[in-house]
């Protein structure tokens, strides 16, 4: 499990009703219980940092006191620098406890010169956890060296401080633990780290149900890429939308605007000339290239394929119509794009026209059908009638596995399938039955994928954002909102709750 996955799961657990304060309580208690298994009594010194890892250490201190241990907590910063709200609350509890008869000592270290070799039975490393990058600052660096010189039993919380949580590498110095108590699931860095640093690894259950990894939530927003100050135009996603027809110009425009609102730098729409002016009229921000004709046909392919070479992701189908010529063009277009290895999102009319056999072995593809389009695409002759939700997910997952790409099945609960992976999304509102919200979803999906998210992360997060934008639109307008009005709520739907600060 990558650190980002744990952070996402942690926040999604809170979204589903499990407070992070409870998770911290369970984590700290688990550390204390493991220490109590190793020794019956004695003294414990806890070196704590200012993040969630330090908060786990504060909780462990309280439980160790209840178990009869003498406890010293060494905070390697001023308490005002504690970032995690949950950690702050647990530090405040310890500050109140120091006036009780409990054998508890609290020490605040602001400078490495204040550090002294601890005379203790056990040292707990609750300094950094997964919040580590590059060379360590003082007094953390000196504290780790002091810990390693001690002959006390050393227990690391989550991952030894100084060990890179994704690779297991050490950029500077790291705690040499005898035991590492990690939470929920094994971290990737622990699997690859030097065993002399991790010692024996103990994975503790802290009460996070599996559904927190399956259902989307605001934690998934943590996967959004952070932009560098040196970033330039086009670096954050170039998208080509191939669609539109004389009858349907709104669909590709909505998809394009949703892609822009969700962070893509440049969106170009390739369409028949008959749709070009109406699409341009939606926004000056859309780049529109028209080709002679009322609907997409094979004569347009050469020009469209030149455009494909310059983009990061291609969305096919929105408003394309159902002309047989368009189906032939879409099929040939997809074949050529697959040869280039480019990411493809297929939506709407593309799902009705492109043959399953054309794309079934291509991994780099996302389909975004509603239930009717799903049944037609996979040639299901009889309806799927299953009342039990789990059985329904299993049944649709089995059908989706007939292709190697990803299927984002839209519905009251969106289902996202690829290989063995399953994600579910519950955001949305009945007001989203209005036309165009599916085009918005396709545009957001293409945008996130073009910005560098994985196939599964792009599709799952797009479903969450699209549904959340619909919920915000309903709060503003009731059920009477349009897809174009919903688009304006996409940036708000992408904002990460402020409570995520300090979760590492």
User: pLDDT-derived band of residue 49, with 50, 70 and 90 as boundaries?
Assistant: very high
| Residue 214 labeled ligand binder | no
The pair of structure tokens assigned to 206 is 């802290």
| Residue 129 labeled ligand binder | yes
Give the helix ranges, DSSP H, for 162-249. Answer: 188-192, 195-198, 211-214
Peptide bond into 139 cis (omega under 30): yes
pLDDT greater at residue 424 or residue 230: 424
What pLDDT score does 171 carry? 86
| Residue 438 labeled ligand binder | yes
| Residue 207 labeled ligand binder | no
| Residue 251 labeled ligand binder | yes
DSSP 224-292: SPPPPTT--TTTT-EEEEE---SS--HHHHHHHHHHHHTT-SEEEEEEEHHHHHHHHHH-TTSEEEEES
| Residue 84 labeled ligand binder | no
pLDDT 10s digits, 89-104: 999 999 999 888 889 9
| Residue 131 labeled ligand binder | yes
Q: How far apart are CA 345 and CA 315, in angstroms?
A: 5
| Residue 319 labeled ligand binder | yes
Beta-carbon contacts of 154 under 8 Å, excluding residues fewer than 6 positions away, are 122, 123, 125, 147, 175, 176, 177, 178, 179, 199
For residue 503, is pLDDT > 70? Answer: no
| Residue 125 labeled ligand binder | yes
The pair of structure tokens assigned to 448 is 């996130």
| Residue 130 labeled ligand binder | yes
pLDDT greater at residue 3 or residue 414: 414
| Residue 52 labeled ligand binder | yes
Average the pLDDT over 227-256 and give the result: 95
| Residue 502 labeled ligand binder | no
| Residue 5 labeled ligand binder | no
- Tell me what percent of the residues of the chain surpass a pLDDT of 70: 98
**All domains in the chain, ordered by first residue:** 3-214 (3.40.50.10260), 233-500 (3.40.1190.20)
């Amino acid at each position: 499990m990558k650190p980002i996955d744990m952070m996402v799961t942690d926040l999604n657990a809170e979204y589903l009703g499990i407070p992070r304060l409870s998770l911290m309580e369970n984590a700290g208690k688990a550390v204390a219980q493991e220490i109590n298994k190793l020794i019956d009594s004695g003294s414990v010194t806890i070196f704590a940092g200012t993040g969630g890892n330090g908060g786990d250490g504060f909780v462990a201190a309280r439980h160790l006191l209840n178990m009869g241990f003498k406890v010293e907590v060494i905070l390697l910063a001023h308490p005002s620098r504690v970032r995690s709200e949950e950690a702050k609350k647990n530090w405040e509890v310890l500050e109140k406890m120091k006036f009780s008869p409990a054998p508890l000592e609290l020490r605040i270290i602001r400078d490495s010169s204040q550090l002294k070799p601890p005379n203790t039975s056990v040292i707990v490393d609750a300094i950094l956890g997964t919040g580590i990058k590059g060379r360590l600052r003082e007094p953390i660096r000196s504290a780790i060296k002091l810990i390693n010189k001690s002959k006390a039993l050393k227990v690391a919380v989550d991952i030894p401080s100084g060990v890179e949580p994704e690779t297991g590498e050490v950029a500077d110095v790291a705690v040499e633990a005898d035991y590492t108590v990690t939470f929920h699931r094994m971290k990737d860095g622990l699997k690859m780290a030097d065993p002399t640093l991790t010692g024996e690894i103990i994975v503790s259950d802290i009460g996070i149900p599996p559904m927190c990894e399956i259902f989307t939530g605001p934690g998934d927003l943590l996967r959004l890429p952070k932009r560098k100050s040196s970033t330039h135009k086009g670096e954050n996603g170039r998208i080509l939308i191939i669609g539109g027809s004389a009858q349907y110009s709104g669909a590709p425009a909505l998809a394009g605007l949703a892609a822009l609102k969700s962070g893509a730098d440049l969106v170009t729409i390739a369409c028949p000339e008959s749709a070009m002016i109406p699409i341009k009229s939606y926004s000056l921000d859309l780049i529109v290239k028209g080709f002679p004709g009322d609907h997409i046909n094979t004569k347009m392919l050469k020009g469209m394929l030149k455009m494909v070479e310059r983009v990061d992701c291609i969305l096919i189908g929105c408003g394309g119509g159902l002309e047989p010529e368009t189906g032939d063009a879409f099929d040939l277009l997809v074949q050529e794009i697959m040869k280039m290895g480019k990411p493809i999102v297929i939506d709407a009319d593309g799902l009705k026209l492109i043959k399953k056999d054309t794309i079934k072995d291509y991994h780099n593809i996302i389909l975004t059908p509603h239930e009717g389009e799903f049944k037609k695409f996979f040639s299901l002759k009889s309806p799927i009638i299953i009342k039990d939700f789990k059985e329904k997910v299993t049944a649709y997952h089995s059908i989706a596995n007939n292709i190697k790409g990803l299927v984002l099945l839209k519905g009251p609960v969106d289902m996202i399938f690829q290989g063995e992976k399953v994600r579910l999304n519950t955001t949305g509102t009945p007001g989203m039955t209005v036309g165009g919200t599916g085009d918005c979803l396709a545009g957001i999906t293409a945008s996130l994928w073009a910005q560098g998210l994985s196939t599964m992360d792009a599709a799952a997060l797009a479903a969450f954002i699209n549904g959340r934008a619909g919920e915000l639109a309903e709060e503003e307008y009731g059920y009477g909102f349009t897809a174009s009005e919903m688009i304006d709520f996409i940036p708000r739907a992408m904002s990460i709750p402020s409570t995520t600060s300090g979760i590492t």
